[in-house]
Structure 1
Amino acid sequence: MIQRGLIVVGAWFALFQAGSAGAADPPAAEKSTFWVIPHTHWEGAVFKTREEYLEMGLPNILKALRLLEEQPGNRFVLDQVAYVRPFLERYPDQEPLFRRLVAEGRLQITGGMDVMPDVNMPGGESFVRQVQYGKGYYRDKLGIDVTTGWLIDTFGHHAQMPQLMKLAGFRSYWTQRGVPYREHPAEFLWEGIDGTRLATFYMPATYALLYGSPNDPAKFREFLVGRFGALDRNAPGPHRVGLAGVDVGVPEPHLAPMVEAFDKAPDSPFRARMATPSDFEAVIGERTDLPVFKGELSPIFQGAYSSRIELKTWMRRIEERLLTAEKLAAIEQMQGGGGASDLPALWRAWEPALFNETHDLASGVMTDHVYDDVVGGFQFSDRLAAEQIARGWDALAARIDTRGEGVPIVVFNPLSWTRSDLAEVDLGFSAKGVGGVEIVDDRGAVRPSQVVASTTYPDGGVCKARVAFVAADVPSLGYRTYHARPASSPATPPAPAPATVALENRFYKITLDPGTGALVGLRVKDGDWEVFKGPANVVARHQDKGDVWELYKGLDGGSNIAMKTVQPVPARGSAKFSDESHDAPGTLVSGPVYSEFRVAHSFDSGGYASTVRLYADLPRIDCTTTLVNNEKYVRYQVLFPTTIAAGKRFDEIPFGASERPDGIEFPAQNWSDLSGSGRGLAVLNIGLPGHVVTEGTLMVSTLRSHNLGAYGFGGGYEPGMSSEGAFQIGKEWTARYALLPHAGDWRDAGVPKAGLEFNHPLIARTVGSHEGSLPTSRAFVDVSAPNVVVSSLKPARGGGVALRLYETSGRPAPATVVKLPADIVAAGEADLLENVPALAAVAAGSVSVDLAPFQIKTLVLQRKPRAPTAP
């Protein structure tokens, strides 16, 4: 995303001319080399829809192919499958030429993903699907393995990327954003949190350094020398690289002839070569002096973490549902069913969601008509995911022995450890006099239950009811069977809140303000300590004169340095707070499963509503905050001012966690934690990436009201395009998050598992009563190490089932035992593409795996062949 136009290009030229001042010619013994890489940056969708950009951009591939044919010395780069695949499908006559140019090495395919995704906000498994989809297409269609990582415009990069890229078969990583300072070396080894190192190529002067060059030899010489000198601080060695391309940019016919003429001139101060990324990688690969960078290349464009916030929730929802659908299909396959046949349908459901993870779309920085298209894509994926979940669920339920008194309920646990958590199910009754419901588990024990909502017959009996209960000890990646029986206990209606609202269980005592909903006390019984030093779970709204990308300022499209501005805690007087106004007192619901306080009132010109739910037997405190915004250029944050002094802040990143500095907003996955002096507080979230901790106050970004702001026309952005919908005026938005106070630090408290549980709820459904080959309760996969989780279980590409697990806490997990169904007879370690070099026999239904801190491993499992069916 580079702002384009004559004014911007002119500013670049002035900057680069200044950067070249005083540059001396290299020694005469050996000239330096400037490697020129032409490309076009495919936007996917941002200002135009997917189809509109294809109409605009596919001719650029035709033009690039023609130039490569006419100019043997020319080179070009293409990357995203979402761009290349439609080209080859719509212009099949061009495929032979396309294949030949790729084989000759003059047209290089980079990226190897469906799109150029955001990598911070979508989950880790979504990134793996990007690679599987993208590299799989190029492998199957063109017979090539893409090894150049090409995330040149992605808005920041987390510290597990080196491991993920290596496991996917990439040998390099190209980007222009996220280094800690402007003079950072252009070529370096990036070391991730597990110790993996990856050759990384940083473009300090953007991926458009050499685009827009003059078609005049003298002026071109001046242009190229200026651009070469602009890299003095970052690439002082004899080899430098410059990309020539912009957003949906047209290939430049004059570039290769100008480079050739420059190179032939005997007085040229350096050599110039048309090149592909692989050409430059090979030269840099000979160096043994590359510096090592450890950590994250983030944050970039912090405003994007909460602009069009609903899209972040969509990403989280679709990933959870598709991963569940894959797990059910894999379990069916492990049971001898046809789960592998679901793989094409699963990919059809994944692709629209993967496309919507394009860096601009995930960030919410699009125009309004593109936004509508994005939501439509998520809805399509959601429908297909629902179909696949229903198919897998029916196949599993049909095998379970569900006989017993009452309505059978099967509760499925999509996570890889035995857990007790909330389950909700819809029930219907035709009998007279039903006042409530009794839930009985498969061991005959009555579980506490609570009617969440119901409709009744004229005689007062229950017709339909949504019933909540805590399903205890649901097996790992497995299920437990319950039965619902009619009972006489009625539902508990909400009651007006007393003067002081107190919720209490065996873990905590909570005190709330009955008028405003502010959490004015949270006492942890273990250790007897108070979590908050002031009113908490309070929303602050303050002015933010930024745009959809940036907090508090307008967009700098070429921004490449990790943002370091410290965000203070919003101050009363300058910001509006949700506890500064109230209407009627809230209401309180009490029951055997949970107690919940609800309140709603005006919030300046908008509206505010809150729920705080405390479970009888769970340590998690679930919260929702609903906002109606009627102001432009504001942002909303939920504040949790803790008593934790000198604490350390860790956030979850894909497949791991990173410690982050005080005062700077970063994107978190499922959780953010502040711990110190033997105690801590974790905030779990569903689709709320933006987190910051300042002076002991955890702040969660819940909503921003902004538009595109000042953005130069180009790259598909045209006069008259609207982004006014991003102001969120009059829209009702509900944020879901949870609190987990704990002893010790985030590792001791099992926060990674708690975050996954909050985002992957138990699934409860009624089924028919019948015999079955499966018992009433069963685990299909179980992992021995508490710090190791299974992130994915799916039908594998080449047959069998692929299981991926990773270490969550930064501590080694040697000899981790993975228990499997008895029918699994062979297993082998694979890469992320599910290529497995060799399979080994599985003994006693389990495999042992050694995991280093934050290590990711994929296993491919094979079931014993089915016995032949008698004719």
Structure 2
Amino acid sequence: TLLERDPSFTSFTFDGQTIAIEDHLEKRPDHHELVVKLVRAERLFIGPWYVLADNILVSAESLVRNFQEGLRVAASFGRAMRAGYVADPFGHPAQIPQVLRGFGYSSYVFSRGIGAEGEDIGAEFAWEAPSGDRVLACHLVTHYASGLALVGEMSETEAELEARVRTRLPKMIDVPARYANTSSLLFMEGDDHVEAYERLPEAVAAMHKVSPNLDAKIASLEDFLAVVPSPRTSFAGELVGGRYRPILRGVNSTRVWIKQENARCERLLLERCEPLDAITGGDERDELRSLWRTLLQNHPHDSICGCSIDDVHDIDMRPRFDRVSVDGATLAASLERRVLGEGNTTLVWNDLPWARDAVVDLDGTPTRVRCAAFGAVAASRIDGAAVRVDGDGAIENELLRVEVATDGSFVVVDKQSGGRSGTQNLLVDDGDRGDEYTYSYAGPTVGSRGIAGARRSGVTGDRATVIVDLLLQLPARLRDDRLARTAETVACPVHMEVSLDSGARRVDVTLEVDNQARDHRLRGVSGKRGWVEQPTAERCAHDLVALDGAVMIGLDGIREYAVLHDGRTIAVTLLRAMGWLSRGDMTERRGHAGPALETPSAQMIGRRAYRYCVVPMFSDMSLAAAAREVREFLAPARVVRGARPAGPFMELPRESIVQPSALRAARDGVAVRLFNPRDREEAVDVRFHRTIASARAVDLREGDLTLGNTGFEVLRTAAPPETDGAVMSVRLAPYEVGTYLLTFA
């Protein structure tokens, strides 16, 4: 290999992920010992991530699992790189410094995401999370191929190589030098689909020759970070700007089915499989690791973003989702049987760690039942005010009245105050002349407003529902010149069910559309009179999007929203259909973002289904309470069979501000992760089903300090918990994440 042949080629750095090494060894298992040798000799730097994910589209716990698995794989060869490198995700969540510090890392080398602030903060700066955690951030201003100018043809003569370096070097150095906050400059010599340049040592020697004042050498990211001084500038918040590279957040709504499947799989592992394994002894850790690895293999940024060729998504990704869904559900059912025993007693199981009322399907009838916190109780109907219908378009429970129009839109009325929401659930459809990366508007805009659909209402048990069937006549495609939509239309049937359960403070919506149109974007639009906010570009939402005092929308795997130009309307993207991986003829973006390939599967032709809920935020509804309604929507209680009730295995007060993030078996106990979403300190008492023998705060390695073999000390934990019997009391600083390792008596 190159590193064996040429000691002057001192090291090679992988692009922050370890899965590529696994892929290589799958084909060349005889290289395993060589990889171990090179990693241990610090000539091959690998990790710290498992895959190069899109860090915005996946859940926070998926980011943690990605880092854990990357460290685990890297350690199997020696150790993980001690630099928090990530080559090319389309933006970075504000909590990344918090995650890095939780693994002992203090640096982040990245590309993309810097906006106008880059002119002030420069390339090296302190990046601060909402929690106050900071890392040294190093922005690759000229991207992760910044040293590619050094690459030439292998057939060059020595003189030709020197002449090329002399010509290209000033331009290569110019931009990074202008933004540098240090005398050391970092250049990454590599690019997509480019092999290592074997003559790189000669090119570096030529740099010395043509510019003797430069001290250039082949180095690792660890070498570079060691000479970067403490940064003089800082930035707080997420990095989603496009000043230097396009941020490409149109991917939030590309191939929405991928985002929906991923959200379901994440919830299956996080809310069912892992907690059940934790309370049954942790015997399924290997199977859970296998399921997580399969899911993480769908998280690389071009995969989860939906911006690859059709075969990547339809042939590679879909079977992985199917495997996690099927095997995960089988595992969860098996673990539930261990807890409940074999029997025919009808029970209701609640995955959430607080008691609540829920409407479940009991003997074919939606029935309101009382659920214990995380566990199962006997299923029986509880008394509560009945739901009712008023004509064919209005439904009510004891708290809310929902008035549904024939076009499927609705208004929610607070029965106590008489307050009325704005109009919810209008459908608006625009043309899209863009590609998988970027939305580009094309007119005309059409929608559902005023369409006279077939409407009917009814009550079944403790659920009232209005069903609306309507026909959207949408332009069939773009015109041949791609400047506007064709006058030809196609029929796209829409089926909506707007439901209100007994006792509920939210309205549940299911929507199915049989999409037969191409080159368009379909959005659900909700409004609130008197609500003012500046319009936003399309942004990514996880589980919910809210405007305080107006409305919260709970989203099941739907990831894109925007505030429209009137400042009073929020739009959620249900479907975006486009036929190209990349195009170079849009005003929204200069040039191509990928290869110019057609992607017919990305047109999303056929039946598509969506779930979301609307929580009207009348005067007595706080953001925390609304978020709790959404969490209960996304984690519905289930009817199960067993020999006996069980639990509660873990319980928080329903009104707790501190929220659970993970409950899972760890190497030396049970790991519990909680987070504080507020800007002030919060405390909570967490009750378990058994007496606590020990409890201590740990970092995101969950007590395994050998993870990654990085040698990092524990740098960041929450305050130590206090215990009293089966209760653990914790205090979390503003926006803090606390991980606790427990053993039970």
| Shared fold, TM over 0.5 | yes
Q: Is it true that 1:329 corresponds to 2:277 in the alignment?
A: yes
Q: Does 1:542 align with 2:430?
A: yes
- 1:312 pairs, out of 249, 259, 265, with 259
Aligned positions of 1:277-292 closer than 5 A: 277-284=221-228, 287-292=229-234
Counterpart in the other structure of 2:377: 480
Measured in 2, the distance between the counterparts of 1:239 and 1:717 equals 31
Looking at structure 1, the residues matched to 594 and 143 of structure 2 have their Cα atoms a distance apart, in angstroms, of 19
Q: 2:462 aligns with which of 590, 593, 600?
A: 593
Verify the 8 A CA contact 1:397 1:410 in the aligned structure 2. Answer: no
Contact conserved, 2:366 with 2:463, CA < 8 A, in 1? Answer: no
Q: Name the residue aligned to 1:640.
A: 526
Aligned equivalents of 2:254 and 2:317: distance in 1? 14
Letter in 2 for 1:330: A
* 1:317 positional shift: 0.5
Offset at residue 809 of structure 1 (A): 3.0
Contact 2:126-2:136 at 8 Å conserved across structures: yes
Q: Percent identity?
A: 24
Residues 723-734 of structure 1 correspond to what in structure 2 (within 5 A)?
Answer: 723-729=599-605, 731-734=606-609
Residues 178, 67 of structure 1: CA spacing in aligned structure 2 closer, same or farther, 3 A cutoff? same
Alpha-carbon separation, structure 1, partners of 2:206 and 2:372 = 70
Check conservation: 1:416, 1:789, Cα contact below 8 A.
no
Letter paired with 1:481: A
The aligned counterpart of 2:739 is: 858
The aligned counterpart of 2:60 is: 124
Deviations, residues 569-613 of structure 1 (Å, cap 9, x unaligned): x9xx94111234335x22212134111011112101222221110
Indicate the SS of the match to 1:80: coil
Deviation at 1:777, TM superposition (A): 5.6
Partner of 1:366: 308
Verify the 8 A CA contact 1:147 1:169 in the aligned structure 2: no
Question: Partners of 2:503 and 2:627 in 1: how far apart?
Answer: 20
Structure 1 pair 137/692, CA: closer, same or farther in 2 (3 Å)? Answer: same
For 1:722 and 1:707, the matched residues in 2 are separated by 6
2:38 is aligned to 101
Which residue of 2 is the match for residue 15 of structure 1? none
Conserved? CA contact 2:36–2:78, under 8 Å: no
The answer on whether the counterparts of 1:508 and 1:522 sit within 8 Å (CA) in structure 2 is: yes
Alignment of 1:651-800 (within 5 A): 662-675=535-548, 679-694=549-564, 695-710=567-582, 722-729=598-605, 731-743=606-618, 747-767=622-642, 770=643, 776=645, 778-784=647-653, 786-796=656-666, 798-800=667-669
Secondary structure at the counterpart of residue 272 of structure 1: coil
- Whether 1:626 and 2:512 are equivalent positions in the alignment is yes
Q: What displacement does 1:549 show?
A: 0.7
Are the counterparts in 1 of residues 46 and 80 from structure 2 also a CA contact under 8 Å? no
In the TM superposition, residue 211 of structure 1 has moved relative to its aligned partner by 1.8
From 391, 395, 399, the equivalent of 1:503 is: 395
Matches within 5 A, 1:603-614: 603-604=472-473, 605=490, 606-614=492-500
Q: CA deviation at 1:256?
A: 2.1
Q: 1:379 aligns with which of 291, 307, 322?
A: 322
What TM-score do you get using the length of structure 2 for normalisation? 0.86
The alignment status of 1:845 with 2:726, answered yes or no, reads yes
In structure 1, the residue matched to 2:132 is 195
Paired amino acid for 1:663: T
Given candidates 196, 202, 217, the residue that maps to 1:273 is 217
Task: Give the SS at the match of 1:420.
Answer: strand
Alpha-carbon separation, structure 2, partners of 1:749 and 1:795? 28
Larger Rg: 1
On the 8 A contact 2:396/2:500 being kept in 1, the answer is yes
Cα distance in 2 between the residues matched to 1:266 and 1:857: 53
Kept after mapping to 2: 8 A contact 1:171/1:199: yes
Quote how far apart the aligned CAs of 1:96 are: 3.3
Asked whether the 8 Å contact 1:621–1:738 carries over to 2, the reply is: yes
Cα deviation for residue 374 of structure 1 reads: 0.5
Tell me, in whole angstroms, the C-alpha distance in 1 between the residues paired with 2:433 and 2:317.
26
Q: Kindly state the Cα deviation for residue 149 of structure 1 after the two structures are TM-superposed.
A: 1.8
> How many angstroms apart in 1 are the aligned matches of 2:580 and 2:83?
32
Match for 2:408: what amino acid? G
1:735-773 CA-to-partner distances (Å, cap 9, x unmatched) read 110000124598554233223222222122123xx4x5x
| Contact map agreement 1:598 1:609 (CA 8 A) in 2 | yes
Residue type at the aligned position of 1:517: G
Q: Which AA in structure 2 matches 1:742?
A: M
Q: Which runs of 5+ in 2 are unaligned?
A: 242-246, 474-489, 585-591, 706-713, 715-719
Contact 1:787–1:808 (8 Å) recurs in 2: yes
Match of 1:411 in 2: 348
Letter of the 1:508 partner, please give it.
L
Q: Distance in 2 between matches of 1:725 and 1:147?
A: 40
Change (3 A) 1:103 1:777: closer
Contact 2:696–2:741 (8 Å) recurs in 1: yes
Q: Report the aligned-residue RMSD.
A: 2.8
Indicate conservation of the 8 Å contact 1:510/1:522, yes or no: yes
2:308 counterpart SS class: coil
Cα distance in 2, alignment partners of residues 750 and 390 from structure 1: 30
Give the counterpart letter for 1:641 in structure 2.
G
Q: How far apart, CA to CA, are the structure 2 residues paired with 1:512 and 1:847? A: 46
Deviation string 1:135-189 (CA, Å, 9 cap, x unpaired) is 12222x1231443222221011111111112112322212211112253511111
Are the equivalent residues in 1 in contact too, given 2:682–2:734 (CA < 8 A)? yes
Over residues 66-123 of structure 1, what are the superposed CA-to-partner deviations in whole Å (9 max), with x where a residue is unaligned?
245414343211132221123345434333332332233222123x222111111221
Residue identity in the other structure for 1:227:
M
Superimposed CA distance per residue, residues 444-484 of structure 1 (whole angstroms, 9 cap, x where no aligned partner): xxxxxxxxxxxxxxxxxxxxxx3322222x22222222269
Unaligned ranges ≥5, structure 1: 1-64, 334-339, 428-465, 486-491, 554-569, 648-660, 865-871
Q: Which amino acid aligns with 2:409?
A: A
What are the superposed Cα offsets for residues 760-805 of structure 1, whole Å, 9 maximum, x if unpaired? 22122123xx4x5xxx463111235710121111111x13211111
Structure 1 position 420, deviation (Å): 1.6
> For residues 149 and 424 of structure 1, do their structure 2 counterparts lie closer, same or farther at Cα, with a shift above 3 Å needed?
farther
Q: SS of 2:89's equivalent?
A: coil
SS at match of 2:187: strand
For residues 359 and 661 of structure 2, the distance between their equivalents in structure 1, rounded to whole angstroms, comes to 21
- Does 2:660 correspond to 1:802? no
Match of 1:567 in 2: none
Partner amino acid for 2:630?
A: G
1:173-229, Cα deviation, whole Å (9 max, x unpaired)? 122111122535111111111111111111111111122533511111221221101
Say whether the 8 Å CA contact 1:672–1:683 is kept in structure 2: yes
How far apart are the structure 2 equivalents of 1:319 and 1:624?
21
**Cα separation, 1, equivalents of 2:168 and 2:620:** 55
Q: 2 CA distance for matches of 1:484 and 1:680?
A: 33
Q: From the superposition, tell whether residues 749 and 89 of structure 1 become closer, same or farther in structure 2 (CA, over 3 Å).
A: closer
Q: Distance in 2 between matches of 1:350 and 1:332?
A: 19
1:308 deviates by 0.5
SS state at 1:179 partner: coil
Q: Is the 8 A contact 2:436 2:582 kept in 1?
A: no
**Is contact 1:116–1:151 with CA below 8 Å preserved after alignment?**
yes
1:421 aligns with 2:311: no
